[in-house]
Amino acid sequence: MQPALDEALLEVMATAAFIQGPAVGQFATELAEYLGGAHVVPCANGTDALTLALLSLQLPAGAEIIVPAFTYVATLEAAALLGLRPVLVDVRPDTFNVDPAAVQAALTPRTGAIVAVHLFGQCADLEQLRTIAQRWGVPLIEDNAQALGATFQFASGEIAFAGTVGAIGTTSFFPSKNLGALGDGGALLVRDPARAARLQQLANHGQSQKYHHEHVGLNSRLDTVQAALLRVKLRHLPAATTARQAVAARYDAALAAHGADLHLPARDPRSSHVFHQYTLRLAAPDRRDGLRHFLSRCGIPTAIYYPLPVPAQPAYAYLGYRAGQFPVAEELCGAVLSLPTHPLLTAEQQDYITECIGTFFGR
Ligand SMILES: *Cc1c(COP(=O)(O)O)cnc(C)c1O
């Protein structure tokens, strides 16, 4: 891949079309093709994609945005910055994805949107979420920063790519995401062409043509350099996804023996899982940090996504939530551990990781 990336970079430098160069549109078209035809509107990052999605809904100040309590903070940040009110709901203990029953219970006449997150690479329950959104006439936004390329099968037999089911999907090309740029990047995924056109304007100062501004917008364009690099990386995404899934299958097999100590990632049979993260849940949460330190001493980097539920973050104290209101999210923050999952991990490296885990649990 390296020579192709070098070539793409040199070509952008040679043409000097750094802003809105041809690679941006080409990348959008190619990603749209990969996602089965949804429109792709590139923007500067995944957080801006969420901001643009909410901005495009033209909600009244204080409208409520339903968001899972166990996610990356960016999911709420957009709502908070726009003067909308994040309403947090708990997640499911098995998939870590938002609990549709909790979403249903949080709906009020002030609800402006439901934001679902496809956490760690697996789709939230799109069947139920889509039904709830349609029944209540509330737009569903899919924060698909972690599950680009995952699919969901509905009871009707219809299969859709994550991010293309709700009114608007958002994604991120942050370097560590499944389709990572060499810097920041993001995109919106939309089926409705009129909505796509509007989002395109909002991401470029709200202009319909140069110096003609129809909306208050953002400067949130994807750099040509990143688009050119992402075109190359997109061609490798299917193989990278298969490699991540193979890494996960290998962990599943090697760690099955530790069922009493570790809950392995639950699979929703309706969703393919693209394993942005392979996240374990410890049966005894008080051993989590011990395992993490032990693995660190073995030279194995692990991560905790996420150490604090969003309602406990100081920035969101103003929402007035109290400890104990999101029991599942709170429990998960103390019990989860993500293992190395990148597509280049070798079988030998994985064997070493699972051996060290075995040593820690004394088996
Ligand atoms: C990474 C991420 C974002 C934000 O994307 P950026 O490109 O870093 O702004 C939003 N939501 C989730 C769930 C993410 O993982």
Tally of helices (H runs) and strands (E runs) in the chain: 12, 14
The full set of domain ranges for the chain reads 2-235, 237-360
- Cβ of 278: how many Cβ atoms within 10 Å? 23
Compute the half-sphere exposure of residue 19: CA atoms within 13 Å on the CB side of its CA: 5
Using alpha carbons, select from 206, 122, 115 the residue that is nearest to residue 168.
Answer: 115
CA-proximal residue: ligand 1, atom 14 (nearest)? 145
**According to the model, what pLDDT value does residue 363 have?**
67
pLDDT for 37 equals 87
Q: Which of 282, 293, 298 is nearest to 334 (CA)?
A: 282
177 is catalytic: yes
User: What pLDDT shows up at residue 220?
Assistant: 98
Q: Which atom of ligand 1 is nearest to the CA of 71?
A: 13
End-to-end CA distance of the chain: 41
The pLDDT assigned to 207 comes to: 92
For residue 242, what are the CA distances in angstroms to 39, 135, 150, 245, 275? 25, 36, 11, 5, 10
Structure tokens, 332: 């998960």
Give the pLDDT of residue 236: 97
How many CB atoms lie under 10 A from the CB of residue 261? 18
- Give phi and psi for 340, each to the nearest 5: -55, 135
Determine the topology of domain 2-235 in CATH.
Aspartate Aminotransferase; domain 2 (3.40.640)
Q: Is 220 in the pocket of ligand 1 (CB under 6 A)?
A: no
Ligand 1 pocket member 174 (CB < 6 A):
yes
Q: Hey, do 2-235 and 237-360 end up sharing a CATH topology, with the first three levels equal?
A: no
Q: What letter represents residue 222's amino acid? A: L
Kindly give the confidence (pLDDT) of every residue in the chain, 363 residues in length, as a single tens digit, with 9 standing for 90 and above: 899 999 999 999 999 999 999 999 999 999 999 999 899 999 999 999 999 999 999 999 999 999 999 999 999 999 999 999 999 999 999 999 999 999 999 999 999 999 999 999 999 999 999 999 999 999 999 999 999 999 999 999 999 999 999 999 999 999 999 999 999 999 999 999 999 999 999 999 999 888 889 999 999 999 999 999 999 999 999 999 999 999 999 999 999 999 899 999 999 999 999 999 999 999 999 999 999 999 999 999 999 999 999 999 999 999 999 999 999 999 999 999 999 999 999 999 999 999 999 999 986
**Predicted local distance difference test score (pLDDT) of residue 182:** 97
Class of domain 237-360: alpha beta
**DSSP character at residue 319:** G
Q: Which of these, 29, 85, 76, 19, lies nearest to 50 by C-alpha position? A: 76
Q: What's the gap in Å between 180 CA and the centre of ligand 1?
A: 11
Residue nearest to atom 6 of ligand 1 (CA): 46
Ligand 1 neighbour 45 (Cβ under 6 A): yes
The reported pLDDT for the residue numbered 346 is 96
From the candidates 92, 118, 130, 177, give the one annotated as an active-site residue. 177
